[in-house]
Each structure stands twice: as C-alpha cells, then as structure tokens.
C-alpha cells in the first residue's frame, strides 16, 4: 500500500490543531493509503507542540518535528524532507492547520491523482471553487493580484490558482527537487515549488474547493511575505529565461563566426550568394557544440549526440533557407548597403524560430521515469492543466 504524509505547518495553532487532527483521522479511514500526519511546529509559544504530543498518545500515525520560526516555506521544506527521507512518503499533501481547507475534500484531492496527475491543486479559481464572500475588496485584490503575478510574471500561465496551499504531490516529483535552490522562506514557497514541478514535467490538475476563513487564531501573512513573493516571482522569470539568454549568447558568438567566415570568403573571391550559405553552415557546427555543452547541458539527453546533431542541422537548414531568402531580398531591395548589413539583418528574424525548434525538438526535455505507474480514472472531477515542461 502506498504511503501518504499530510504536512501541517503550525505556529500558535494549538486550538485549531487539537480540533483538526481527529477530523483528519476520520477522513484518512476512507483513503487507500497508509496515512500519516506530520505536524511541523515552529516552536509555538502557545503550546501547539505540547498539544500534538498529547494527541500522539492516541494516534500512532501522528508525528511532530519542531524548529525555529523561519516562515511557511521553510517549515514546508523541513516537513517535506522529513516526509520523504524518514517516513518514505509516496504522496505528500500540503494543508493549512486552521480549517481553511476542508478535510472532507482530502479524498477527492487524492482521487484526482488518478487522472493521471502528479500535482493536484485544491483550487479556488476554477469553476466550482470559491473564496469567502465576506472578504474585503482589499483581500480579494491581494489574492487575485498574487495569482496574476504568479501566472504572468513567474510564467505559470496555465494554472488558475498558483498560490493555493491545499495540494497533493507525488514524491516522484518532490525527490527531483533540490529544495535548497528554491531561495524562499515564506508564502512564496507555493509558487516556487509549483514552478519547479512544472519545469520538471509534472502533470498538474486543479480540483475546485471552497476556501473558508479561519475561525480561531490569526493569519501569519505579513508585509515581508508579500515583498518576498514579488521578488521571487521576478527571480523565477529571470531564472526561467536563462536558457533563452544562453541560447542568444551562443547565437551572438555564432553571428561573429558567421560574419568572419563570410568576410573571409568574400576576400578570397567567392561569390556572395555562395559565401552566405557556407558562412551559415560554418556557424551551425559552432552553435551546436556550444548549445549541447552549455545551453541545454542540464536537460537529460535521451538521444545520441549524433541524432541531436542531425536534428540541429535540420533546424539550421530551415533557418538557412529563411536567412538566405531574406539576404537575397535585402540585397536586391537595398543594393547600396554593405553586404554584411544584409547578412546581419537576415540572421535576426530566424533567432526566435531557431530557439523554439531546438528547445522543443532537438534538446527537448525528457523527464526521468516515474516511480510507479498511473491509472486513468474516467470521469474524475478536476481541470487538467497542460504541462509547460520547458519553463526552465
């Protein structure tokens, strides 16, 4: 039987956790997992840890780890690492400890893993989901803007609720993530983890849930969390663009190789219409070797270098056709311009096409094999989200 670990981060949640644990235990009776609950307490001064220790005498599947208060993200990282390395979880669930997430939704969330999916989000912003009607316009705006930033700045375009804290995630995804590289401590952890999972090719689905306000205790969201969230969203955008930036740097060096070869051939008396494609072909080999060794080095290579080289050349030949055609047109339209200008202008339009074809085909991301097979469940209630496996 697969093992499930629910990670509950807490800070001053004594009253909530005392009520939540028994309710969760009832829901765990109906799920097909060997289920455990892991409370990650940040040394709460209100006695949350002591309350959990008292409950542990009644529930053998209840666990507690404690540590310094460093933020929600730091607590989740600590909990997930413990769930994977000590409890050997097959599935990890993120969940708030204040009843904002209905424990009765847990079986539906786990069932959605059979879509198949690797990362299921209890979503407020898909049809059927909701936020409290009592929320002020400021809180609604804060939630909506946060999701817009995550979707359109961090690049998680296809996910409707990027900041949700109710999630079921396969350990086959989590084990591929180096948590130390997420660079977050607070609420920004939610988008950082989701972005990294999608970048690894995780299949994401969103399940509608009704989010409710806590009745006991206080929210821990502060100004520092909002600032970290915004900074992290832009950091993710820059991190996501690193492959394209590297590709452009390689392309720039290739332009230099191209123009140098073109000028040399012209100096040797070679016809300009022959010198242009030859110069492009010389730069093709240079670009492939540099892209293979640097730009796309981190992507698992499922094909022999010769196959990748053949694909790269096919893409380059298509680029050559576009470049050469543009060069001919420009040289006819502007006969007084130096031929080097025509050649440079002909190279630029093909850059985007070249990157797209090489990123999605030549050096396509090949996710590692999953730890266990997935089973299709016809009629499962969730909104599937298409992978964006080339985010990084």
Task: Tell me if 323 is assigned to some domain.
Answer: yes
Task: Tell me if 52 is assigned to some domain.
Answer: yes
Both 120 and 247 in one domain: the answer is: no
What pLDDT is attached to residue 26?
95
The answer to whether 48 touches 17, Cβ cutoff 8 Å, is yes
Both 7 and 109 in one domain: the answer is: yes
Task: Tell me if 390 is assigned to some domain.
Answer: no
Q: What is the CATH number of the domain that holds 107?
A: 3.90.550.10
Both 204 and 334 in one domain: the answer is: no
Judged against a pLDDT cut of 90, whether residue 104 lies above it is answered with: yes
Residues above pLDDT 90, as percent of the chain:
37
Both 25 and 106 in one domain: the answer is: yes
Both 168 and 24 in one domain: the answer is: yes
Query: How many domains does the chain contain in total?
Result: 2
The answer to whether 360 touches 247, Cβ cutoff 8 Å, is no
Both 56 and 195 in one domain: the answer is: yes
What pLDDT is attached to residue 376?
34
Task: Tell me if 8 is assigned to some domain.
Answer: yes
Task: Tell me if 60 is assigned to some domain.
Answer: yes
Task: Tell me if 15 is assigned to some domain.
Answer: yes
Judged against a pLDDT cut of 90, whether residue 247 lies above it is answered with: no
Judged against a pLDDT cut of 60, whether residue 225 lies above it is answered with: no
Judged against a pLDDT cut of 70, whether residue 371 lies above it is answered with: no
Both 73 and 185 in one domain: the answer is: yes
Q: Give the domain-ending residue among 198, 216, 240.
A: 240
The answer to whether 217 touches 13, Cβ cutoff 8 Å, is yes
Average pLDDT on 97-113 reads 92
Structural domain span for residue 132: 3-240
Task: Tell me if 367 is assigned to some domain.
Answer: no
Nearest to 6 by CA among 121, 168, 177, 163: 168
Task: Tell me if 199 is assigned to some domain.
Answer: yes
Phi then psi for residue 284, to 5 deg, are: -60, -50
What is the average pLDDT score of the chain? Answer: 82
β-bridge pairing 34-41 and 91-94: unpaired
Euclidean distance between CA atoms 114 and 170, whole angstroms: 11
What pLDDT is attached to residue 236?
64
Both 160 and 283 in one domain: the answer is: no
């Amino acid at each position: 039987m697969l093992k499930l670990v629910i990670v509950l981060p807490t800070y001053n949640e004594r009253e909530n956790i005392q009520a939540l644990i028994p309710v969760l235990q009832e829901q765990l009776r109906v799920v097909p997992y060997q289920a455990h609950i892991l409370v990650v307490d940040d040394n709460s001064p209100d006695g949350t840890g002591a309350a959990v220790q008292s409950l542990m005498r009644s529930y053998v599947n209840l666990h507690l780890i404690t540590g310094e208060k460093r933020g929600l993200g730091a607590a989740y990282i600590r909990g997930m690492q413990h769930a994977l390395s000590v409890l050997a979880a097959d599935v990890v669930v993120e969940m708030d400890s204040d009843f904002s997430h209905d424990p009765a939704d847990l079986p539906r969330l786990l069932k959605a893993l059979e879509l198949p999916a690797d990362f299921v989000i209890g979503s407020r912003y898909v049809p059927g989901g909701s936020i409290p009607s009592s929320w002020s316009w400021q809180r609604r705006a804060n939630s909506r803007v946060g999701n817009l930033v995550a979707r359109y700045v961090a690049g998680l375009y296809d996910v409707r609720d990027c900041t949700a804290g109710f999630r079921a995630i396969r350990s086959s995804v989590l084990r591929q993530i180096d948590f130390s590289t997420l660079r977050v401590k607070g609420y920004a952890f939610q988008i950082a983890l989701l972005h990294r999972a999608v970048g690894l090719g995780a299949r994401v689905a969103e399940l509608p849930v009704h989010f409710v306000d806590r009745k006991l205790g206080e929210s821990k969201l502060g100004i520092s969390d909002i600032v970290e969230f915004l900074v992290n969203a832009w950091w993710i955008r820059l991190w996501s663009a690193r492959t394209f930036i590297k590709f452009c740097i390689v392309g720039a060096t290739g332009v230099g190789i191209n123009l140098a070869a073109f000028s040399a051939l012209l100096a040797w008396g070679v016809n300009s219409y022959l010198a242009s494609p030859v110069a492009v072909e010389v730069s093709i080999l240079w670009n492939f070797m540099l892209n293979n060794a640097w730009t796309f080095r981190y992507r698992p290579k499922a094909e022999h270098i010769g196959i990748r080289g053949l694909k790269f050349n096919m893409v380059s030949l298509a680029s050559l056709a576009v470049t050469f055609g543009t060069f001919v047109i420009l040289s006819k339209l502007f006969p007084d311009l130096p031929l080097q200008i025509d050649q440079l202008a002909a190279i630029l339009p093909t850059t985007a096409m070249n990157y797209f074809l090489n990123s999605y085909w030549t050096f396509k991301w090949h996710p590692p094999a999953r730890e266990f097979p997935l089973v299709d469940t016809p009629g499962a209630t969730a909104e599937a989200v298409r992978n964006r496996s080339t985010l990084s």
